[in-house]
Amino acid sequence: MKRLEALEGLRGYAAFLVFLVHSCGLVLAARYHLDPDNAGLGEMSGPPAVLFFFFRSHYGVDLFFVLSGLLMADIAARRWPGTRTFLARRALRIYPAYLLSGAAALVVGLWIFKSHITAAQVAGNAALLHGFHFLGFAPLNPVTWSLSYEAAFYLAVPLLALAWSRRGGAGEREASWVLAAIFVAMIAGAAALPGERAIFLAYFALFVPGLWLGMMDAQARSRAAQRLPTPVALGAWIAFTLAFKLGFLGNKQAAYYVFSALACGLVVLKTCDAASLPGQLLATRPALALGRISYSFFLVHYVVLHVLGHILVASGVSSTAAYAAGLFMVGFPLSLAAAWLLFLAAERFYFARR
């Protein structure tokens, strides 16, 4: 699949949404003594309400899942290198940057925050098991929980490639029905499991819209994108994000994953229309620049923000406005700089050898 520039920009947008979650959440927790994960917009007013509005941008991870599904389906259907080569390439893609950023998180946790970290916790994180809460491995870098889902999804991609190669006379329509059944089963199964956090397993369902898009060849996907009205795609995205921000939807509800799949799927599809408004905006230089280093940015920004927050407090910054301004105005460029260094050290070689 020829890498569509706008999809790279969409990764940058998704990474920025994740940055908003952790920067705004840190200000709410550190300066307003609020637990944003267990609060609602109706309980706040003034600056905390504005911060909370932007904090509720967790759906950036949902976009990453849909985009990953698209790429993996395209690999499985059109350029399958074999299971061993595929898994080796995926490990080479995600592990170097993940391990370097994890080592940084470990050092920061031990040295600055005096965290109690066990060998079992380190091993669980190294094996990418920490995202599955029921296993009991506390994350070294909380933002990386989604990589557990990515890694587990990668293990299923060889089965997708095998199914595609043996589909016989079945076409895309039949495959679409199978994917729809899998999507429903994933959400229903997660909702039926005991435990409050079991529903989070429904995040696996968000790979499915990407799989459906990736089954199409580039030309068919472009035609579908052109037929999709921009107001429909953007309207669905705005409605979904507002419903989440205002508390009408939450990721502990099965309905969240249905609406997220629809909204993210439509946005990703419309982005494949290079002439559309999303396609043009996401192909701008800032979006592409962040998209290029989005994985490294995703990995390091949480650590950068918390170290910076610690420095601001230790430096005697007592004003909430000054703390927030420092976190945003310094934290974002510092995260970009750290991400670029991590990209050079642990990602660029992967793209250079392709």
pLDDT tens for residues 18-56?
999 999 999 999 999 999 999 888 889 999 999 999 999
pLDDT band at 275 (very low <50, low <70, confident <90, very high): very high
**Given a cut of 90, is residue 4 above it in pLDDT?**
no
| Contact yes or no for 72/157 (Cβ under 8 A) | yes
Q: How high does pLDDT run on average in the chain?
A: 94
The C-alpha atoms of residue 148 and residue 129 are separated, in whole angstroms, by 6
Q: Determine the pLDDT at residue 170.
A: 62
pLDDT tens for residues 205-253?
999 999 999 999 889 999 999 999 999 999 999 999 999 999 999 999 9
Compute the C-alpha angle 29/34/37, nearest 5°.
85
Count Cα neighbours of 301 within 13 Å in the Cβ-side half-sphere. 27
Q: Mean per-residue pLDDT for 256-276? A: 97
* Tally of domains within the chain: 1
Q: Report which DSSP code applies to 114.
A: -
* pLDDT-wise least confident of 14-28, 162-176, 208-222, 292-306: 162-176
Q: Report which DSSP code applies to 197.
A: G
pLDDT band at 164 (very low <50, low <70, confident <90, very high): confident
The C-alpha atoms of residue 131 and residue 200 are separated, in whole angstroms, by 10
pLDDT band at 150 (very low <50, low <70, confident <90, very high): very high
**Given a cut of 90, is residue 172 above it in pLDDT?**
no
Q: Determine the pLDDT at residue 353.
A: 74
Q: Determine the pLDDT at residue 169.
A: 59
**Given a cut of 60, is residue 349 above it in pLDDT?**
yes
pLDDT tens for residues 116-148?
999 999 999 999 999 999 999 999 999 999 999
CA distances from 93 to 61, 211, 265, 306 (A): 18, 20, 24, 26
Q: Report which DSSP code applies to 2.
A: -
Q: Determine the pLDDT at residue 176.
A: 87
Q: Print the domain residue range for 99.
A: 5-352
Percent of the residues in the chain that have a pLDDT greater than 70, as a whole number? 98
- Residues 6 or more apart whose CB falls under 8 angstroms from that of 44 comprise 34, 52
Tell me the pTM.
Answer: 0.96
